[in-house]
Chain A
Amino acid sequence: AQSVAQPEDQVNVAEGNPLTVKCTYSVSGNPYLFWYVQYPNRGLQFLLKYITGDNLVKGSYGFEAEFNKSQTSFHLKKPSALVSDSALYFCAVRDASGNNRLAFGKGNQVVVIP
């Protein structure tokens, strides 16, 4: 079965420092991978996706993620964190049940400290 692991419950980072949110996946077939962000009392917003092509994917708000097939990882990164980046981040991978849906991780709370 397809699954996503986001091993850290919370990531604390000082404003201006690099931010990394980790994600590893397990999937058979093509690993379509997504990152979403959820701000308080809001729905999820799409950040970026990897479908095929370059392993480094650039997305919204200065975020990027690197697909690493050998390590089955898709870590989200931002070179310089902002206080406004404090939110809940979800990694998701295609669910190969054949029903065109995603399996989401449990989410990582990111806290950017001023």
Chain B
Amino acid sequence: GAGVSQSPSNKVTEKGKDVELRCDPISGHTALYWYRQSLGQGLEFLIYFQGNSAPDKSGLPSDRFSAERTGGSVSTLTIQRTQQEDSAVYLCASKQTGDLFYEQYFGPGTRLTVT
């Protein structure tokens, strides 16, 4: 079946512009995560959605970052007034439920470059 998809695969933007990154999770998966992967760094948790519960936003690095998940499916990560330090690969993952013992399925990521 279809896996997690993300778009665009690459995004180059000028400093100060806003960007939107999209994630389409696996159908039926109720849990959705956003991570940031910087060069030489591990995965940095950003935000977590589970069903209709309030999202866990505790990993968002600043108020320039926001995310929403419409209809319990597609999610959009928005970065306002981008900075060069926002350059990274943004990964989305989904899984069946919020239970920890289920593994996450990752999308291919969006590589964001802020010039």
Contacts and interface: CB of A to CB of B under 8 A. Distances in A.
A104 B43 contact: yes
Interface string A68-85: 000000000000000000
A90 B106 contact: no
Contact of A46 (B41, B58, B103, B108): B103
Interface size class of A (residues with CB under 8 A): 20 to 34
Interface stretch (B62-70, B78-86, B94-102): B94-102
A44 B42 contact: no
Interface size class of B (residues with CB under 8 A): 20 to 34
A78 B29 CA distance: 31
Contacts, number: 56
Nearest to A104: B43
Contacts of A107: 42
Contacts of B99: 100
The main secondary structure of chain A at its interface with chain B is: strand
A51 interface: yes
A106 B42 contact: yes
A44 B50 contact: no
B48 A100 contact: yes
Contacts of B40: 106
B14 interface: no
Given A90-B42, A99-B48, A99-B58, A44 B91 contact: yes
